[in-house]
Structure 1
Amino acid sequence: MRVAAVAALCGALAACTSMGIDTASKEPPKLSSKVAASMASKGMKPESPVLVRIFKQESELEVWKVDKSGSYALFKSYPMCRWSGKLGPKTKSGDRQAPEGFYHVSAGMLNPNSQYYVSFNLGYPNRLESALGYTGEALMVHGACSSSGCYAMTDQQIGEIYAIVDRALKGGQNQFQVQAYPFRMTAKNMASYKDDPNFPFWKTLKEGYDSFELTRRQPKVSVCGRRYVFNSEFSGGEPSDPLATCPAVVNQPEPAVAAKLSAENQKLAAALSQGTSSAVNSYVDGGMHPSFRALLKNNGAKSMAEKVSGTKYPISRPEAALADPFAGSR
C-alpha cells in the first residue's frame, strides 16, 4: 500500500522530484584537487562567485567563475546528457518542458541526497513565472541522464558542478545565478526562429544574454511589465508587482556598454530583415549532446545508463533523444 502511494505521488508531480524521494544520507561531493588546480591556472579561486548558463539546443551547461580581473570568465563547458520537452519556456506542471529564464540558487536548494545522485533546484517557478500563473515544481539540474522537465548530467559531471557551486556558496556568495536559454542567442540563431511563437519572450532573454556576453558581469534581474528587465534602477525602488507596468527607470547604462548593446541590436535587426525563419523546432521530446547521442547509438540505453550513472537510472525516452534534430552546425 505504501509503495503504491509513493508511486502515485511520483506520477502526480510529473517532474524530477529529487528533492522529495531521496537516497540515504551521504557525504556531498568535494572539490577535487584537479578542479582546484584548473581554477588556479585560470586565475580563479574555489570560493570566488559562480554563474551557470544552460543552452537547450546545443545541450551544453557552462560554469563561469570570477577571475583575478574581477569579471566572470568561462571555467568549463559540460555536454548535457538529457533534457526534455521542446524549445520554449515551462508553463504548466506535466508539460515536460525544462525551464527557460533567470533563476537564483541558494545553499538550501542544493540536495546531496538526490535519487539522481546530487542536484540543485532551479527555483521554478520564479517570481515572474508565479505571477503569470505557471505551475510545476522540483525542476532540477541533476545526474542520471533522465529528464522530465529537468536538466540531466552524468553523475561525474553533476558531482563536479555541485562541488564548485557549493564551495562558492560556502565562500560567501549568497546565491548563484542560472541563465537557462533555448539556444545561444546570437543574431543568426534568433533570426532562424523569428516565426516561433516564443520569439517575443526570447527577445527579452537575449537582453540578459547580451548584457552578460558584452560585460562579463552578472546582470541585475528585475521583473515588471510581465517580463524580465535588466540592470535597471527604478523610481521608488525595486518593482513589487511583476504584472504591473514598470516604474520609471532612473539610471543609464555605461556609454561603452550602451554602444555595444546598440551594435548588437543593429546586428539582430539586420539578421531579421533577411528572409524568413529557417529553423524548425521539431523536437520529439528534448535533446542530448551529440557526444552522448553517439554513445547511446553505439551502446544502447541500458549500457549507456551504466556508464553515465552509478544509480544505473534508465535513460529517459532514448528514441526521442536519438531524434534530436540539432546536429551541432549552429
Structure 2
Amino acid sequence: MIGRHHSPSDAMATRPPWSPAEDASARPYSQPMAPSHVQPDRRYGVSATPSYAQPAVPETSGAFRARRPAPGEYDWWRHRLITPGTHCRMDRTWSAAGWPQLADDFWRVVHSDRSGSRRADSALIGLGLGAALMIELLLGGQVVLNREGHLRLASEVSAALAYRIQAAAISGGAPAALVPDRIANEFLMVIYSEPDLLPVETWLAYLAPLAPDQVSQRLVDAGHLHVCRPRRLLGRSVVYRPANANEAVWPAIRLLHPLRGGELDYLDLTLLGLCRATGADRWVFDGQPSDGVARLLGAPDRLPEPFPELWRRLDAVMAASASRLH
C-alpha cells in the first residue's frame, strides 16, 4: 500500500506523503549545490555532438576527495546522469541548483504559451507530468528501474534516508532534504516508505492526479506562471498563465531543432519521448515533413537503459488510457 511507512518513526507514519505545505527541511539548500561553472539557466545551442548520458562518477574518482562520507551524507551531484551544459536565455529546464526540471518543460509543451489553457485531456497531462517527475529522479540517479520494471531507490539514497529518518525521530523534526527540489524529496520519501517494490504503472497511477498541481506550483514559485482566478457563474477556477510567452513556447521550438540540422541534448530527448508517448508530438510537429518527423521520433529509443523499458511501459499505459490529444 503506497504511503505506509515501515521505519521506526511513528511521527513519519502520520505525515502526509505528498503534502504541498512548505517544510523548512524540504526547501532548497541554503548553500549552492552546483559547481561554480554550472549556469542556472540551461543551455541550448547547435552542437556537433549531442550531450548524451554520462555515467555516474564512482566514489574512487579523483574528481572527489578520497574521504569517508559522514553518516547520512549524500552528494547527489556525484550520482547524476547528466549535467547542465551551455545555455540559452530562454531555457528554464534546470533549476538554479542544477536540478533537471523536465516536468516544467512538459507542462509548457502541453499548455498554451499565452493563455495557459490545456492542449490535451487533463488525465493525459497528469500521466505525462507524473512520468516526467519520475524521470527527473532517474536522471538524478536517486531511483533505479530494474529489469522487471519496478522502481527502487538507489542504495546510497536508502542508506542516507534511513539515517536521516532515525535522526529526525530522535530530534523530533523532519528528515533533512536529499536533493534541492521539494517534489523530488517528497517522492523519495514515499518510495522509501513503501515496503514492496512497485512497478512503473502503479507509480504513474499514484502520481498522475497529484503531478499537475505540484508542477504548476513549482512554476508559480519560480515566477514562470501567474495564478488567475476568473469569476464564473458556477464558482471560481484557477488558471495558470505563463509569465513569458517566449519562454513558454521555447521547449516546443527546441524539439524542432533537429529538423533544421541541429541536435537534441539528452534531456530534450527524454522530453521528446514523453511527447511521443502522450501524443503531444502531433501538435509539436504539425505541418513538418513527415519523413523527418518519423526519423526524429525514433531518437528516444536509442537512449540507454532504463529508457527503452520505460518507453515500452509508458506507451502501454497511454494506449490503455481513454484520453486523447485534443
What interval of TM-score do these two structures reach, taking the shorter chain for normalisation?
under 0.3
Q: TM-score, normalised by structure 2?
A: 0.26
Whose relative contact order is higher, 1 or 2, with alpha carbons under 8 Å and at least 6 apart? Answer: 2
Structure with the higher fraction of residues in strand conformation: 1
Structure with the higher fraction of residues in helix conformation: 2
